[in-house]
Structure 1
Amino acid sequence: MTTAIPSAAHIPDIVGVLGGGRMGAGIAHAFCTAGATVVVVERDDDAAEAARQRVLDGLGKSVQRGTTSEDLQTLSARVSVSVDYAAFETCGLVVEAVPEDAELKAAALTAVEERLTSNAWLATNTSSLSVSSLAGKLQRPERFCGLHFFNPVPASTLIEVVLAQQTSDELADAARGWVELLGKTPVVVKDAPGFASSRLGVAIALEAMRMVEEGVASAEDIDTAMVLGYKHPVGPLRTTDLVGLDVRLGIAEYLESTLGERFAPPQLLRDKVARGELGRKSGKGFFDWTE
């Protein structure tokens, strides 16, 4: 059953995104096309310019496909980039989208919070790390939650709203409303290792990797079995290539440390990451992406 958007729900006028990689740019894209002014903060000028171009490229594709009624000039006028956390001072919401490393995220989030007003909201895009632990590093943990976006963000229709132990009921309601106003479906989960999607998705992907490792079937045939047999839109190994083998390895290692050896990464995954076979972003993973 579809739940109604809370009557008071609205996307903040200005939304910040920390990190302008593929995920961060996609998050910025989503909020921009929903009407928000977006500011992306990156580590240096080169990274900031690359982030700006990623966002504008994505917006341009949305204009070409007719998935937005606004023109590119109007959309691009609502996008800015910076290398200074002070750019977040006017934001009503900031979403952190830095690499999946607990210490890095904790340091980034505390630095962002120092720049926010007391009534601003803060979220992390972590796909597996403890949102409650990250909240414990903050001065206003009740104003913090997880917003787990999926890649590619513009096309994805799901966002996990992850509630830390400290997350206020007000934020839980607001976050669900933001997701629906972005045109996506919220799944609300309590903070637990891997949440719902990563825990299940990684479990399937790791077993698929073991099957390749054992010579049970090729990567192509395993994915075809899941697509045709179970109606998955994309197979688990191709999904791993899209997410990044290094990202999947990090999530698997975290889940192994919290949930046990059933999430132990196969040696095949470790070997591929060591060789730099990271999936689409490197041109090779379980599949060839060079073309």
Structure 2
Amino acid sequence: MAKVAFLGLGVMGFPMAGHLAAKGHDVAVYNRSPGRAEAWTARHRGRSLPTPREAAKGAEFVFACVGNDDDLRAVCAGPDGAFAGMTPGAILVDHTTVSAKVTRKLAAQAAATGLAFVDAPVSGGQAGAENGQLSIMCGGDPADYARAEPVMAAYARICRLIGPTGAGQLAKMVNQICIAGLMQGLSEALAFGQKAGLDGEKVVEVISQGAAGSWQMANRHKTMLADEFDFGFAVDWMRKDLGICLDTAEEIGARLPVTALVDQFYKDVQLMGGGRNDTSSLIRRLK
């Protein structure tokens, strides 16, 4: 069992840190809003610390799952950041979805002080985090990954090293590009079926067993048909992720015409007041 710290107790980090505690790891937690950390310690074995630096002291592994590039910099760097409290040889594992650019900069900063860094964004949503069934795509040194992987196994369905530093974040971009296209297609299909007077449940029961089937169809069609979206992965966060994808595409010379279009559709949902709704609320534009 390892001594670990977990920074960020949102809808993903809260249950992920809980799985680490349930596996017997010695867990210290930090959250920007202290109430979440207090709620976590009331439910799980572990302790809450007031700064990332203090939470990271003596930890073999420090896990981060925060909001964006700026949030990640805030918990890693600076006098109260995790790097300042970590012991040389310790590994910071970042589960946040951020740019590969900030990942590489922070990894270089960590290496300069004798620390290791593994970028490890996740897919599977809140349900995957709660059930310990996340897909984790990693970038970093193979030896560092090999040390961290058994600990990440506490909440992983699958965990793989994709390549060097930044490769995990690039793989997560591939994931989000796929989801954007799939969700728009599913939204159009379900809205079309409703306009045509079909029983959506019956249609999905059939087509989900064929070539059209997907995780999104299996897990979101019922709530989409019922016009229920107060859960899941927020549109605001999806737009943040798609923005990273589009910026990176510009940098590397890749073309993402459908992704750019769906990003604007999500902007429409935000303007409709649905920024905190699940990404499946894309169908609202079509009803």
**Alignment TM-score > 0.5, same fold:** yes
Match of 1:154 among 130, 138, 143: 130
**Aligned twin of 1:48:** 37
Q: What does the per-residue CA deviation read over 1:35-82, in whole Å, with 9 as the maximum and x for residues that have no partner?
A: 1021210124334334446xx2xxxxxxxxxxxxxxxxxxx3x22223
**Aligned twin of 2:267:** 270
Please tell me the residue identity of whatever aligns with 1:89.
K
CA distance in 1, matches of 2:185, 2:156: 37
1:261 aligns with 2:237: no
Match of 1:238 among 193, 209, 220: 220
TM-score (norm 1): 0.70
Unpaired runs of 5+ residues, structure 2, are 222-228, 250-254
CA 204–120 in structure 1, closer or farther in 2 if over 3 Å, else same: closer
Shift of 1:236: 8.5
Aligned ranges 1:88-237 → 2 under 5 Å: 88-99=56-67, 101-110=68-77, 111-130=81-100, 131-138=103-110, 139-140=112-113, 143-149=116-122, 150-151=124-125, 152=127, 153-164=129-140, 167=141, 169-180=142-153, 184-190=157-163, 191-192=166-167, 194-209=169-184, 212=187, 217=192, 224=204, 227-230=208-211, 231-235=213-217
TM-score (norm 2): 0.71
CA distance in 2, matches of 1:221, 1:107: 46
**Greater Cα offset, 228-237 or 180-189:** 228-237
Q: Is the 8 A contact 1:16 1:93 kept in 2?
A: yes
Q: Report the number of matched residues.
A: 250
Q: Is the 8 A contact 2:94 2:121 kept in 1?
A: yes
Q: What does the per-residue CA deviation read over 1:195-214, in whole Å, with 9 as the maximum and x for residues that have no partner?
A: 33541343243353267479
Please tell me the residue identity of whatever aligns with 2:97.
S
Aligned ranges 1:34-45 → 2 under 5 Å: 34-45=23-34
The percent of aligned pairs where both chains have the same amino acid is 16
Shift of 1:265: 4.7
1:250 aligns with 2:240: yes
Shift of 1:21: 0.8
CA distance in 2, matches of 1:45, 1:279: 22
Shift of 1:227: 3.8
**Aligned twin of 1:29:** 18
CA distance in 1, matches of 2:215, 2:189: 25
Q: Is the 8 A contact 1:39 1:80 kept in 2?
A: yes
Give the structure with the higher percent helix: 2
Query: In angstroms, what is the RMSD of aligned CA positions?
Result: 3.7
Shift of 1:112: 0.8
Q: What SS is found at the alignment partner of 2:27?
A: strand
CA 213–163 in structure 1, closer or farther in 2 if over 3 Å, else same: same
CA 195–228 in structure 1, closer or farther in 2 if over 3 Å, else same: farther
